[in-house]
């Protein structure tokens, strides 16, 4: 990942110790955070102004703002990501951008947020409109009071998240989608040989096998291959395993015929894949009859044979 030189300079400055003679207290202190979403890493740098009793923050009776305001203070707020993303449904190339908000000429309320390629800009010297800026209308919502201006990801999933700006009693939300690192959906032809009901057993030490239970593999119209567990025993023999028997497991294409990667879905959305695990079906000639699940050490974790 390549950062703009200005970002590297600022990052370096933030990490270096400050000599006592140069120590300073800022009214708006700097803040940096990173967030990874399915392999796409976001990094944000901004300064955090306080409300300091100023009210209202926006509108015709607000404190005086520049017409174009960086949502922060001091130097421009910056957002970097090393893969292409979708921001509010618009594709944005990987890179580093400064963020700015235009205020309405009459109402002095936030009107548009835009991405600016130039990142080394002081907050009172907002950029003029240009063809390479990417713009989005914004809606100012209500929120619990926040003294410090705060950027953060309010929600994160395997497909994206919600980046939120919060300050005072206001918030602005932005929906972000990332490029998937894995193929989630299975073609009908690849799913067909493994569909059906399977008798499965956990593989224990010294060749010991657990009591058998059922796994039903089915393919839905949206292209997801599911593995529904029923009657799986707890590993300590205390009864049924509440996790596996309630799990919405998805099987993701593993890059070769008959090989899939298990994943966990919640509320109909894939949240996590089993790192290093594979579900491997025997050589397929129309219909598979056996499978093994191998763990990240290549040990057999689960075995199954077709029932129907």
Query: Hey, where are the domains in the chain?
Result: 5-178, 188-306
pLDDT at 4 over 70: no
φ and ψ at residue 189, rounded to 5 degrees: -65, -35
Q: What pLDDT, on the 0 to 100 scale, is given for residue 22? A: 56
pLDDT at 67 over 70: yes
User: At a CB cut-off of 8 Å and minimum separation 6, what does 234 contact?
Assistant: 240, 241
- Report helix, strand or coil for 180: coil
The residue among 3 and 218 whose pLDDT is bigger is: 218
Tokens at 13, concatenated: 């400055």
Question: What 8-state DSSP symbol labels residue 284?
Answer: P
Question: What 8-state DSSP symbol labels residue 207?
Answer: G
- Residue 260 near residue 253, CB atoms below 8 Å: yes
Give per-residue pLDDT as tens, 117-137. 999 999 989 999 999 999 999
Give per-residue pLDDT as tens, 100-111. 999 998 999 999
Q: How does the average pLDDT of the chain come out, rounded?
A: 90
Of the pLDDT bands very low, low, confident and very high (cuts 50, 70, 90), residue 24 is: low
pLDDT at 188 over 90: yes
Q: What is the mean pLDDT of residues 29-57?
A: 95
Fold adopted by 188-306? Lipocalin (2.40.128)
Give per-residue pLDDT as tens, 88-97. 999 999 999 9
| Cα 303 from Cα 290, distance rounded (Å) | 8
| Cα 298 from Cα 1, distance rounded (Å) | 32
């Amino acid at each position: 990942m390549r950062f703009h030189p200005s970002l590297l300079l600022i990052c370096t400055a933030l990490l270096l110790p400050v000599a006592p003679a140069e120590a300073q207290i800022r009214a708006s202190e700097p803040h940096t955070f990173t967030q990874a979403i399915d392999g796409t890493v976001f990094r944000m740098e901004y300064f955090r102004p306080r409300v300091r009793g100023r009210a209202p923050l926006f509108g015709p009776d607000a404190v005086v703002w520049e017409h174009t305001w960086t949502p922060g203070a001091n130097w421009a707020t910056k957002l970097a990501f090393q893969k292409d993303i979708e921001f509010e449904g618009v594709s944005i190339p990987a890179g580093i951008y400064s963020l700015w908000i235009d205020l309405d000429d009459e109402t002095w309320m936030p009107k548009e947020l835009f991405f600016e390629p130039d990142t080394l800009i002081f907050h009172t010297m907002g950029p003029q409109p240009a063809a390479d800026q990417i713009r989005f209308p914004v809606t100012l919502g209500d929120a619990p009071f926040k003294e410090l201006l705060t950027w953060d990801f309010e929600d994160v999933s395997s497909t994206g998240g919600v980046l939120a700006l919060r300050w005072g009693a206001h918030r602005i939300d932005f929906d972000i989608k990332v490029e998937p690192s894995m193929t989630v959906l299975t073609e009908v032809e690849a799913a067909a040989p493994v569909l059906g009901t399977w008798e499965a057993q956990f593989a224990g030490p010294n060749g010991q096998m657990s009591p058998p239970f059922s796994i039903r593999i089915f393919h839905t119209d949206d292209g997801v291959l599911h593995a529904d567990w029923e009657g799986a025993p707890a590993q300590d023999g205390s009864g049924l395993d509440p996790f596996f028997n309630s799990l919405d497991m998805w099987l993701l294409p593993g890059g070769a015929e008959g090989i899939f990667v298990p994943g966990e879905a919640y509320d109909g959305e894939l949240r996590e894949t089993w790192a290093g695990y594979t579900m491997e079906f025997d050589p397929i000639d129309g219909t598979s009859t056996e499978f093994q699940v191998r763990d990240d050490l290549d040990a057999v974790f689960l075995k199954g044979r077709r029932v129907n």
